[in-house]
Amino acid sequence: MPVLLYCVTQPNPEAKVAAGISDAVVISREMLGVRVYWSEIDDPEAALGEPESLKKAALQFRQVLREVLAVTTPIPFRFPTLLESVDVLEQHLLPEQELYRDALARVDGAVQYEVVGTWSDEQQTDLATPVSGREYLKRRQEALGRVAAVESKLKSVTADSVREWRARQDRKNHRWFALVRRDDRERFIALLRSAGASQGVRLRLSGPWPPSEFVQRQTANADSC
């Protein structure tokens, strides 16, 4: 029977999740040094084949992750990851087993929060309109300066409540990801709220989430927050 994968975690503790996609039972098993969570799906086409069913399945997938996250730190699989049967599960995990074990050791006991920064004036900018190279460089420098200012503020106000920061630029906003110890979640949120508003930028916090942005090690020459 086809199986849909949710996540891997440390072998212990085990999270008990009653139901997953299509209300299927969520099964977990320890193998290759990690614990794997999945459901057997009778009819993948019915569960995932139509836009509405796919949307519902995605919500159920995230709910499973939330329930696992309440107990331990999961690393999610890309949704939807389907295998032909549970018999090939270990074979599927084998090439990435070291990555999973390394990542789980690094993010153990932590969760991820996301801060999205949106600048009001950039929301009015038409990115399809051509600009001169000089104007482009000017806008680029201004954007980098504003990002750096917000980044510095986030890091200073949250202090040691964050184990690691990472960042990513989208077309019209900037995203910061914070790896926060479970025990520091309330403190982290309180520190962010104490910082007050920043002029011209709207910051939106979401989480906690599984620490997906921290699965890969940060390379030495990568931009860091």
pLDDT digits (tens, 9 = 90+) for 25-71: 999 999 999 999 999 999 999 999 999 999 999 999 999 999 999 99
Q: Give the span between the Cα atoms of 194 and 169, in whole angstroms.
A: 25
3-state secondary structure of 70: coil
11 inside domain: yes
Residues with Cβ within 8 Å of 102's Cβ and at least 6 positions away in sequence, in order, are 217
Are residues 125 and 103 part of one domain?
A: no
In whole angstroms, what is the distance from residue 24 CA to residue 40 CA? Answer: 7
Same domain, 53 and 94: yes
Helix H or strand E encompassing 123: helix 120-123
- Region 171-188: mean pLDDT is 91
Q: How is residue 209 written in tokens?
A: 């989430």
Q: Are residues 120 and 87 in the same domain?
A: no
Same domain for 100 and 13, yes or no, is: yes
Could you tell me which residues come within 8 angstroms of residue 98 by beta carbon, excluding any fewer than 6 positions away? none
Under 8 Å CB-to-CB from 147, ≥6 apart: which residues?
117, 167, 169, 174
Look over the chain and give the mean of its residue pLDDT values, rounded to a whole number: 86
**Residue 206 maps to which CATH number?**
3.30.70
Contact 214, 103 (CB under 8 A): yes
Question: Residue 220: CB partners within 8 Å, gap ≥ 6?
Answer: none
Rounded Cα gap, residues 201 and 150, in angstroms: 9
Q: Mean pLDDT check: name the lowest of 18-27, 117-126, 141-150, 153-162.
A: 117-126
171: containing domain: 110-214
Same domain assignment for residues 22 and 98: yes
Residues 100 and 130 placed together within one structural domain of the fold: no
> Measured over all CA atoms, what is the biggest interatomic distance in the chain, rounded to whole angstroms?
59
Q: Which of 22, 157, 180, 32 is nearest to 93 (CA)?
A: 32
pLDDT of residue 99 exceeding 90:
yes
Alpha carbons 62 and 104: distance in angstroms, whole number: 19
Contact 33, 47 (CB under 8 A): no
- Select from 107, 132, 153 the last residue of a domain: 107
Nearest to 81 by CA among 106, 48, 121: 48
Are 139 and 209 in a shared domain?
A: yes
- Name the strands in the sheet holding 110-119, side by side, starting at the edge strand that comes first in the sequence: 162-169, 173-181, 110-119, 201-209
Residues 53, 83, single domain; the answer is yes
| 220 falls within a domain | no
Q: Is the pLDDT of residue 143 over 70?
A: no
- The total number of structural domains in the chain stands at 2
In this structure, is residue 83 part of a structural domain? Answer: yes
DSSP 8-state symbol, 19: B
**Residue 122 resides in a domain:** yes
pTM for the complete prediction?
Answer: 0.81
